[in-house]
Amino acid sequence: MQNFSLLDLSPIPEGSTAADALANSVSLAQHAEAAGYHRYWLAEHHNMTGIASAATAVVIGHIAGATKTMRVGAGGIMLPNHAPLMVAEQFGTLATLYPDRIDLGLGRAPGTDMATARALRRHMAPEDGFPQDVQELIAYLGDAPATPRVRAIPGEGTHVPVWILGSSLYGAQLAAYLGLPYAFASHFAPAMLDEALATYRATFRPSAALKQPHVMIAAGVCVAPTQEEAAYLRSSQILAFARLHMGKPGKLPPPTEALADEVPPQVMAGVQQALSCSATGAPETVARELADLIARYQPDELIVTGMIHDPAARIRSFELAADILGGLKTSR
């Protein structure tokens, strides 16, 4: 693992507002930069009362303006929701304002329910145009063609690094075919992680953007001074994820010691499987679990995430995680 990074959904805790969540993200980003995180990514989700990062490019600009050196980007932009030209203009503008600091991760899912997807796109194309849209977007960010008809200004010539995100073989195959770095959403969908990484590495084709495969995997983390406190803090995310799957999404709930009273056993089993690519506990426990993940999957980068109701405890968790991850880094 060469670098470690942080994925933030800008969660809105119960009792707080979206404005509070965005302010919390700025504070977390500043602490993350000081702690040595390489990237700070934000994710696009819509129509979710517990997530404040819907206008992802806007939040990226806000975070980049509040930090100095850390890379800031999208993990990711859900490209089917947008015209490639508009994404190129947005991220070209960000790259112009913050040179050599902006990343663009692209996902194929809508990041929302189908009714909201229709509201975003206005029309639902029956065909899958994701590969073509990715290539169109990359072209807008590249050097000017000899006879350009449509240009992204700003955007043209910025060569914003583009990543393919995924949780299945589709993204792995596309990233390999296009010669792009690949990030796997193992923090909530780890089932196909082994197969996807093997496919990506085996079928990768070098490109102008990348000469050899480059993999990032995601893992949940929750670190506290004791096992008991970490498990208690982690209960907020487990409960929020369970409520989402039970059709009752909402703001991030406070931690609880009575998860079993709120979450049926069959739902809890599914949640625990979905969130299994994670490390929770005291520093020594998390260090061991993260080292095992890195040894098994051999990622070039690890991006960690975690929702904790108390912003101060969230900052402390990621600072403790940074201390651990710094010791697990290897040379390039």
Give pTM, 2 decimals.
Answer: 0.94
The pLDDT confidence band at residue 127, using thresholds 50, 70 and 90, is low
Asked if the model's pLDDT at residue 2 lies above 80, the reply is yes
Q: Domain with 145 in it: what CATH number? A: 3.20.20.30
pLDDT value of residue 264: 94
Cα separation, 20 vs 142, whole angstroms: 37
pLDDT value of residue 110: 64
Report yes or no on 331 lying in a domain: no
pLDDT value of residue 226: 98
Span 321-328, mean pLDDT?
Answer: 97
Span 311-318, mean pLDDT?
Answer: 98
Structural domain total, the chain: 1
Query: Which stretches of 271-324 are assigned E, i.e. beta strand?
Result: 278-281, 301-305
Asked if the model's pLDDT at residue 69 lies above 80, the reply is yes
Q: Which residue has the higher pLDDT, 144 or 308?
A: 308
What are the two backbone dihedrals, phi and then psi, of residue 223, each rounded to the nearest 5 degrees? -120, 135
CA distances from 164 to 132, 206, 302 (A): 13, 15, 15
Report yes or no on 283 lying in a domain: yes
Report yes or no on 100 lying in a domain: yes
The token duo for 286 is: 């998390």
Report yes or no on 311 lying in a domain: yes
pLDDT value of residue 198: 97
Q: What percent of the chain has pLDDT over 90?
A: 89
The residue segments making up the domain with residue 304 are 3-326
182-227 pLDDT tens trace: 999 999 999 999 999 999 999 999 999 999 999 999 999 999 999 9
pLDDT value of residue 112: 61
Span 1-23, mean pLDDT?
Answer: 97
3-class secondary-structure state, position 147: coil
In sequence order, the 6+-apart residues with CB closer than 8 A to the CB of 258 are none
Span 299-304, mean pLDDT?
Answer: 98
Q: In terms of DSSP bridges, do strands 102-107 and 162-166 run parallel, antiparallel, or are they unpaired?
A: parallel
Report yes or no on 42 lying in a domain: yes
Report yes or no on 332 lying in a domain: no
Cα separation, 122 vs 115, whole angstroms: 10
Report yes or no on 57 lying in a domain: yes
Asked if the model's pLDDT at residue 124 lies above 60, the reply is no
Asked if the model's pLDDT at residue 251 lies above 80, the reply is yes
Asked if the model's pLDDT at residue 10 lies above 90, the reply is yes
Cα separation, 63 vs 9, whole angstroms: 13
Asked if the model's pLDDT at residue 123 lies above 70, the reply is no
Span 237-265, mean pLDDT?
Answer: 94
93-119 pLDDT tens trace: 999 999 999 999 999 876 566 677 677
Span 17-38, mean pLDDT?
Answer: 98
Cα separation, 47 vs 239, whole angstroms: 19
Per the prediction, the chain carries an average pLDDT of 94
Asked if the model's pLDDT at residue 12 lies above 90, the reply is yes
